[in-house]
A = this chain, B = another copy of it.
Amino acid sequence: MDKNEMIGLLQERKFAALKNDMQEMMPADAAQLLKELSEEEELGEKELTFIFRILPKDMAADVFAYMDTDLQMLLINAFTDRELRDVLDELFLDDTVDLIEDMPANVVARILKASDPQVRRQINEMLRYPEDSAGTVMTTEFVYFHPGDTVEEALDRIRSVGLVKETVYTCYVTESRKLMGTVSLLDLVVADKNEPIDEIMETTVISVCVTDDREQAANLLKKHDLAAIPVVDGDRRMVGIITFDDVMDVIAEENAEDMAMMMAVVPNEESYFKTSVFKHARNRIVWLLILMLSATLTGAITNHFSEIITTIPLLVSFLAMLSGTGGNCGSQSSTMIIQGMAAEEIRLRDFGRVIVKELCIAVICAVILASVNFVRVVLFYHDVKIAAVVSLTLVGTVILAKLLGCMLPMIAKKLKIDPAIMSAPLLSTLVDSCSTLLYFTIATQMLL
């Protein structure tokens, strides 16, 4: 169903057809359609709530979970207490927690009031986990058995709890809440009905602690191709699971965060259009100011050499090329190293190996760039001496940029700072100062 069809059915009051068509849609698509229609002001609050009300309860909750905060808030305000409770009952606990984190206090109070006491306690617990920890992305809904249960008892239990697909692909075997092993739904289906669970369970279990970084959980799940990873507390008692779909969101967020940091933007979890102009400006101005003021150093170096600049003003015209090439060389290296470290291919103990490799790459690049540049300058300006000064500086700049580019992210990691911070912009500013100093020093020696 597209937008016009939906508006058409609404206007002609063909509600049965509307309900039918909505049910055929994937929840994520339905949520997106409603969002676009409300953004284009084709749907008011009243129509939106109406459409939501004709959906079957479970689909309504799914659609709700895929909506963005604005639309969710609009609906919550329109809901009766009874309706709010129905939606909350169908939501996964981690979706409820996400919801609460984004809502103003009065709405949070209403949500907590509408949840039953046990859920309320779990919500409060999850809200207390450290930021970006495994605890904040896990869901507490999972299926567990006792080691002595038979396969048939286990299958009965799955039938009776009636959970949703994602959370039941892998089930957990616990004893006094301690994690003993895992058993997949397929294992249960294939196994003999009367076999005890502890005979068929897998005892090699990868798990994370509730306070571990969510990125670590994501990496483990990805590395071992798991559908879900169990989350345990300090006493190895099982408290939740993180499923593959949540991990994909974590990976996307962490990537966006890294890329933002590498481009000197303070990371921001909200989407581009949702973020106000002032917040965007604030996220960007911090690094711009820091970098602008650091560039003062390069300025001071240049200023120190004003004598040679007035004598040979042509020298100035190569500054942009030198600083650009230095910056590019540095960011190439730092990107490779940051990626290699993220993929766990490059470790801190590879420090020496990386430096040797980057040095070799730098020498090759430097020789090619300097040669091309030498020819170009001689052809354009017929001045071999200036060509030599520029090319020599280029060699030094490229090698320095590549070495700093690989060392800084590794040093940052060693100091437990996010390596992404040590990338392009900061590096360029640093390389810039060094290459300017080198350039004018060589020029003074060779040309004055």
Interface on A for B, CB 8 Å cutoff?
24-28, 155, 158-159, 162-163, 165-166, 168-169, 184-186, 188-190, 203-204, 206, 222-225, 227, 244-245, 247-249, 251-252, 255-256, 259-260, 262-265, 271-273, 277-278, 280-281, 284-285, 287-289, 291-293, 295-296, 298-300, 302-303, 306, 309-310, 313-314, 316-321, 323-325, 327-329, 331-332, 334-337, 339-340, 343, 345-346, 350, 353, 357, 360-361, 364-365, 368-369, 372-373, 376, 424-425, 428-429, 432, 436
Contacts and interface: CB of A to CB of B under 8 A. Distances in A.
Contacts of A272: 336-337, 339-340, 345-346, 357
Contacts of A256: 339, 343
A248 B246 CA distance: 12
Q: Give the residue among A168, A277, A350 with the most B Cβ atoms within 10 A.
A: A277
A276 to B, nearest CB: 9
A103 B273 CA distance: 47
B372 A289 contact: yes
Contacts of A425: 324, 327-328, 331
Nearest to A341: B272
A314 B206 CA distance: 62
Contact of A251 (B188, B248, B432): B248
A273 B343 CA distance: 12
A264 B186 contact: no
Q: Which 7 A-B pairs have the closest CB atoms?
A: A295-B321, A298-B320, A225-B245, A299-B317, A306-B313, A281-B364, A263-B335
Contact of A343 (B159, B252, B287, B343): B252
Contact of A271 (B204, B340, B372): B340
A54 to B, nearest CB: 17
Nearest to A184: B165
A368 B424 CA distance: 23
A332 B189 contact: no
Contacts of A255: 255
Contacts of A185: 169, 185-186, 189
A289 B340 contact: no
Q: Give the residue among A169, A287, A324, A339 with the most B Cβ atoms within 10 A.
A: A324
Contacts of A166: 225, 227
B324 A277 contact: no
Given A169-B227, A272-B336, A313-B310, A324 B186 contact: no
A259 B203 CA distance: 39
Given A159-B189, A314-B303, A364-B277, A265 B336 contact: yes
